[in-house]
Amino acid sequence: MNQSMGIRTYSSSTFPPPCLTSASRNPNFPLLSPRAICSPQRIYHCSGVQIEACVNSSLSKTSLDARYFLGWSETQSLFLKQPFYKYSLPLQALLTSKTQDVSHTPLIGDEKIGVLLLNLGGPETLEDVQPFLFNLFADPDIIRLPRLFRFLQKPLAKFISALRAPKSKEGYASIGGGSPLRRITDAQAEELRKSLCAKNVPAKVYVGMRYWHPFTEEAIEQIKRDGITKLVVLPLYPQFSISTSGSSLRLLEGIFREDEYLVNMQHTVIPSWYQREGYIKAMANLIEKELVNFDCPKEVMIFFSAHGVPLAYVEEAGDPYKAEMEECVDLIMEELEKRRINNAYTLAYQSRVGPVEWLKPYTDETIIELGQKGVKSLLAVPISFVSEHIETLEEIDVEYKELALKSGIEKWGRVPALGCEPTFISDLADAVIESLPYVGAMAVSNLEARQSLVPLGSVEELLAAYDSQRRELPPPVTVWEWGWTKSAETWNGRAAMLAVLVLLVLEVTTGEGFLHQWGILPLFH
């Protein structure tokens, strides 16, 4: 801790200081605007605590509030995104306390701590595939329809899931008849529980899936039955996307709002954790280990392949996914460079669905290009997900490998997903422990605050920061992008539905059209 001009500066090792912890627990914490933090020179006077944010000039205001200060609650409290103090990111908080140190409230005591792991879920049998796909496509964070067409969400989900199911089933059949996600996530939950226990934080760990069993709703019921009093919500996605963590948090927001017990339960969210040292080191370990399997490890191109999202998520809705992904790759490469591993590397995006533009470069196109450029050895690194799943086991291991070998690449390797890798699990446990001082930080003092989120300030602020206006994204089918005047809306809507019906009939009878292009109607291929 430095002492200069009466301001106590907390370094990453001393942060968060006790005064922040107690300030954040103070129910009388005054109103702060999330935007106000963008003015780095300002000192806020709040309950005897002054807070100043010192911002590296290279950080834009937008990236500051979107990525580092997620939790300035409009109502009262403060929530700091976990990783920023743990690692030497360009942002540092300088804290001054007029009321010297305030005693630290014990964290565990009689509390019952719960950790809720959020994940996507996957079909366990081939019969599950279609209903699983229905749940996925019925999610407005996956297919975002213009407001006028929201009533079509479920019929459309039914339709697309029925059409995509045969192709999807083929994929799941080829990896053993179902997704391994539940088994792996359950194992991660158990290892996390053990690791927390070994670190003297006894906690129950729950798994809440978004689109298949055990559903988030089921996990929440169990949390209530167990009488959990403090809950840490931890999405199992290292990087935040509106389509993944965002979707799960939005669901949770609804559940929390409607439940008396949950409204009163203290909770906090760890929105993303891709910069955590343990995670970065664990990824670097896996890469290092896999590189030695090549005859000439130095010649190997390290090929990070992330799950894509439609470009509009990033460009129109402000999804931080791409920025976080790029930063994550940089951090892993920095870690490898420290180990004197200086291989060439690249990042591309896989698994696109539908006719709209997704994040580029695309994995398949990049593989072909690398082959053309004469790259001979490739090490694929799945980067957006911490379990093996259909897109690692089928898309990468089978489809991309075959494409690579056809494209002139001679040696192919793939880094396994982290699964229950001990450094990784231990780091997740640390993330949970470090978040505990913030559980209940959004202390409740008015009804609005109590009815808000997970906790107030975290999810809502988080979603607001990332997806501020919840802008409508281009619908998945271009025929619905028609412009209209108000008076024409009704007719356009009806005409659009009619057009979809006509297109469907044409698709089914001719075997050609957008659904075939999209890969969701493979029946006539």
Ligand X SMILES: C=CC1=C(C)c2cc3[nH]c(cc4nc(cc5[nH]c(cc1n2)c(C)c5CCC(=O)O)C(CCC(=O)O)=C4C)c(C)c3C=C
Catalog residues that contact ligand X under the rule CB under 6 A: 120, 122, 136, 142, 164, 168, 179, 181, 237, 241, 243-244, 307, 309-310, 353, 384-385, 389-391
470 Rama sector, left if φ>0, alpha if ψ -120 to 50, beta otherwise: left
Residues 474/312, Cβ–Cβ less than 8 Å: yes
- Please tell me what DSSP assigns to residue 95: E
Beta strand 411-414 pairing with 266-269 = unpaired
Least spacing, CB of residue 162 vs ligand X, in Å: 13
Please report how close the Cβ of residue 396 comes to ligand X at its closest, in angstroms: 12
Most distant pair of Cα atoms in the chain: their distance: 78
Residue 179 or 285: the one with the smaller Cβ distance to ligand X is 179
Q: Which is nearer to ligand X, 218 or 434 (CB)?
A: 218
123 vs 493 by CB, closer to ligand X: 123
User: For tokens 């083929």, what's the residue?
Assistant: 170
Comparison of 259 and 326: residue with beta carbon closer to ligand X: 326
CB of 357 to ligand X, least distance (A): 12
Q: Retrieve residue 486's tokens.
A: 């108000």
Neighbours of 221 (CB within 10 A): 15
Strand order in the sheet with 7-9: 2-4, 7-9, 91-97, 49-55, 44-46
Q: Which is nearer to ligand X, 139 or 461 (CB)?
A: 139
Least distance between ligand X and beta carbon 215 (Å) = 15
Which residues, including other chains, have CB under 8 Å from residue 480's CB and lie 6 or more apart? Answer: 145, 146, 149, 496, 500
Peptide bond just before 90 cis, omega within 30 deg: no
Q: Which is nearer to ligand X, 179 or 458 (CB)?
A: 179
Q: Give min distance, CB of 151 to ligand X, in A.
A: 20
Reference 371, options 408, 412, 343; nearest CA is 408
Pair 286, 421: CB distance under 8 Å: yes
Distance CA 214, CA 182 (A): 8
Looking at beta carbons only, is 34 or 310 nearer to ligand X?
Answer: 310
Nearer to ligand X, 123 or 413 (CB): 123
User: Cβ neighbours of residue 239 under 8 Å, at least 6 residues apart?
Assistant: 272, 274, 306, 320, 321, 324, 325, 328, 384
* DSSP label of 310: B
Nearer to ligand X, 120 or 249 (CB): 120
Residues 412, 402: Cα–Cα separation, whole Å: 10
- Rounded distance between C-alpha atoms, residue 469 and residue 463, angstroms: 10
Q: Which of 391, 416, 423 is nearest to 286 (CA)?
A: 416
CA distances for 66 relative to 210, 323, 461, 468, angstroms: 24, 11, 9, 10
Q: How far is the CB of 335 from ligand X (least distance, A)?
A: 21
Nearest CB to ligand X, comparing residues 246 and 437:
246
Identity of the amino acid at 13: S
Could you give the CA distance from residue 304 to residue 128 in angstroms, rounded to a whole number? 30
Q: Is the CB of 92 or the CB of 243 nearer to ligand X? A: 243
| Helix spans in 260-347 (H) | 260-264, 277-291, 311-315, 321-338
The SS3 of residue 496 is helix
Residue 27 vs 474, nearer CB to ligand X: 474
CA dihedral over 514, 517, 518, 519, signed as positive or negative: positive
141, 250 contact by CB (below 8 A): yes
Give the whole-angstrom CA distance, residue 87 versus residue 83.
6
Whose Cβ is closer to ligand X: residue 375's or residue 521's?
A: 521
The phi and psi torsions of 159 (rounded to 5 degrees) equal -65, -50
